[in-house]
């Protein structure tokens, strides 16, 4: 498959500015693939401080646009388009921001852009997604951390990679918390979906994917889960191409 993907665990590390830590990677990605403009998908952005969901999209668009402008890249959001699928087909690069994965997937199915983006990216259009935007690059959204605030018509997603990502992966259980750990929830998923691998992508980390090559970038190791096997840890620059084997 001819794919160029930047799949980012989180937008912001504690104490840093928005899109601070991944910005050099995003800039390098834009430069390598000669990206001058992007189509932004804001549907994960559900902001309680805004009077309407459309206003949430506007605010989200402006926030990301300012950062990308500093990288010399123009941004326009798909929510302004009367024909979202046509906007996808004309896009030079697709960028999907983080937020609530359930709302994002609901809107991607309702507008038809789930299939349109999949077709374009599989033909080589560059793709960047962080948090929920990384989740939807997977076969399904079933390893999201988000609350189901909306009901998608399907959990099926872009299927740009053959494994699942759990963004913001945490090892520890918060002090006093009696519920399941992140690892326990992933193991539950694997008990039902035994042929799937799950990548626990810790904050401050991302995947850079070109074709059948995948690289881990960031300051923490990756944790990979497979049914019936002990989780494995992989450092930056470790061979990970096995994750892309169907």
Q: Has 171 been annotated as catalytic?
A: no
Q: Has 80 been annotated as catalytic?
A: no
Distance (Å, whole) CA 220 – CA 234: 9
Q: Which 8-state DSSP code applies to residue 19?
A: T
Catalytic residue among 168, 177, 195, 241: 168
Q: Has 34 been annotated as catalytic?
A: no
- Please, where are the H alpha helices in the chain? 23-32, 53-69, 84-90, 101-111, 113-122, 132-135, 182-192
Catalytic residue among 11, 56, 77, 131: 131
130: β partners = 8
According to the 3-state scheme, what is the secondary structure of 124-183?
A: CCCEEEECHHHHCCCCECCCCCCCCCCCCCCCECCCCCCCEEEECCCCCCCCCCCCCCHH
Question: Is 101:146 a contact under the CB 8 Å cutoff?
Answer: yes
Question: Is 203:1 a contact under the CB 8 Å cutoff?
Answer: no
Question: Is 189:170 a contact under the CB 8 Å cutoff?
Answer: no
Question: Is 206:22 a contact under the CB 8 Å cutoff?
Answer: yes
Q: Indicate the SS3 state at residue 65.
A: helix
| CB neighbourhood size of 190 (10 A) | 19
Q: Which active-site residues does the annotation give?
A: 131, 146, 168
């Amino acid at each position: 498959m001819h794919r160029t993907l930047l799949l980012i665990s989180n937008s912001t590390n504690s104490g840093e500015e928005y899109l601070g830590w991944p910005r050099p990677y995003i800039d390098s990605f834009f430069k390598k693939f000669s990206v001058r403009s992007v189509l932004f998908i804001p549907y994960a952005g559900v902001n309680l401080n805004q009077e309407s969901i459309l206003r949430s999209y506007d605010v989200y668009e402006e926030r990301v646009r300012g950062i990308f402008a500093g990288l010399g890249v123009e941004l326009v959001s798909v929510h302004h388009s009367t024909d979202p699928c046509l906007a996808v087909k004309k896009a030079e690069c697709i960028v999907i921001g983080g937020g609530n994965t359930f709302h994002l997937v609901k809107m991607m199915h309702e507008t038809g852009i789930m299939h349109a983006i999949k077709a374009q990216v599989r033909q080589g259009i560059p793709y960047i997604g962080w948090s929920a935007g990384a989740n939807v690059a997977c076969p399904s959204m079933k390893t999201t951390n988000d609350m189901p605030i909306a009901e998608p018509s399907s959990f099926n997603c872009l299927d740009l990679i053959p494994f699942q990502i759990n963004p913001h992966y945490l090892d520890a259980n918060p002090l006093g918390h009696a519920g399941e750990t992140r690892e326990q929830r992933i193991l539950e998923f694997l008990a039902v979906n035994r042929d799937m691998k799950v990548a626990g992508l810790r904050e401050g980390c991302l995947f850079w994917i070109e074709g059948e090559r995948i690289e881990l970038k960031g300051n923490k190791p990756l944790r990979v889960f497979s049914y019936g096997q002990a989780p494995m840890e992989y450092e930056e620059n470790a061979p990970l191409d096995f994750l892309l084997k169907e």
